[in-house]
Homo-oligomer: A and B are copies of this chain.
Amino acid sequence: MSDTQKAIEYAHNNREKFIKELTEFIKIESISTDDAHKKKVEEAAEWAANHLRNIGIENVKLMPTGGHPVVYGDWLKKPGAPTVLIYGHYDVQPIDPIELWETQPFDATIKGDYMFARGSSDMKGQVMATLNAVESIMKTGDFPINIKFLLEGEEEIGSFNMDSFLPANKDLFKADFCLNPDAGAISADEPTITFGLRGLAYFEIQIQGPSRDLHSGLFGGTVHNPAQALTELIAGMHDANGTITLPGYYDSVRPVTDQEREDTAKLPTTPESYLEQTGVPALWGEKEFTPALRTGARPTLEVNGLLSGWTGPGSKTVLPAKAMAKISCRLVPDQTATEVHKQLVRYMQEHAPKTITWEVKLLNESPWAITDTNTAGIHALAAAFETVWGRKPLYRREGGSIGVVAMLQTIVGIESGLVGGSLPDDNIHSPNERMHMPTWYKNIDAFVHFFFNMK
């Protein structure tokens, strides 16, 4: 029996153990955006560090970042063999609106083919798939290559300490290739390699009208309602076609090539599949691009939150003093968050009325990334997928943002293979997040093959 077969057999025989461990990991409420959960995030880092030690990884340590710590570990006993950096994040999104969850968000619940829990799909499940693959090889023989781990706790809040952490630890993370299972697949039957990611610029806009909440009867008609002023400003940020109107917004956006139009046309993501996945009555967006291009190759401006005045039950006839919006832009080559921040401020300067005052804050940012698909790492991944799924993977650009991918490229000089078992209907960032177990098992096997393919 080959080393690969032994490792695969171990993986298959230990699925219950793997599920038990993932369930423990998920139980730790590591919501990185919420200061009240700071201790829990730390606890999740400790858990991951201990697990690395248990499966035979060496030099495991928690590294301070100014925010939540990075978990490092390595196994470097194959001089001459390539080194793979395994990336993951142990933090998760908030769970609100909590009332829409059908199970306890942090008690992993298996129903049929799915495990339901916050972090199951994004991405504690994916992190554990790589660790389970490493363990399966470690416990059944000799590891074929050198590996390092970078598990961060701030991915869901824009990895905003990475741009100071990575330069300071460049050499420690040097590797030939980064395995990043945070990108997901197009469907359970279609292994996918993502070669492009959108960046992110996340803003908060504050509008101030009167110095205090006013009685809408006594002052309504003489004062510009700040909530109304906010709606007027936001409404003007798109035209009727869904094109963004911030001054100069598309100046540095690379045009979509004919090649990419052809490639994305091959993807199974059709208008129908988007309708089905989202439940909207009709799709929206720039008519001159397909939905797949609009989510992959085009930048966006989304309202992530709105708050003003009385939002409780019943009615309160208040004319609010303030209105707030959280707005984020998904960025594509060659946009930068700094440039988009300036464009948003200029839009406000040009359009905000004199009847209110305003403030725009850049809350966080992450750059876009593009990976060369013609490298040993990508070839090893593609072969691994073909072995397990019996078909070649699909290649796509993805709409999400993983800040660390671009930083590893620009700061450390490593390209990332973006894969993973997360599926489009996993409800990541939403209530009832779930992970497709059969895809998870297949990925564990695929990662075993990947490590041997890298030899």
Contacts and interface: CB of A to CB of B under 8 A. Distances in A.
Interface string A355-371: 11100000110000000
Interface string A282-313: 11111000010011001010111111111111
Given A305-B309, A315-B363, A283 B430 contact: no
A364 to B, nearest CB: 6
A410 interface: no
Q: How many residues of A sit at the interface, in one of the four size bands?
A: 35 or more
Contact of A314 (B34, B282, B308): B34
A228 interface: yes
B302 A225 contact: yes
A266 interface: no
A326 B315 CA distance: 8
Given A215-B400, A295-B218, A300-B220, A94 B306 contact: no
A430 B309 contact: no
Contacts of A363: 314-315
Copies of this chain, tallied across the complex: 2
A157 interface: yes
B430 A213 contact: yes
A102 to B, nearest CB: 11
A339 interface: no
B315 A202 contact: yes
Interface in A207-240: 209-225, 227-228, 230-232, 234-238
B212 A431 contact: yes
A222 B326 contact: no
8 contacts: A93-B316, A215-B430, A221-B300, A222-B284, A224-B284, A304-B315, A306-B306, A306-B308
The 4 closest A-B pairs by CB, nearest first: A211-B279, A217-B400, A224-B284, A221-B294
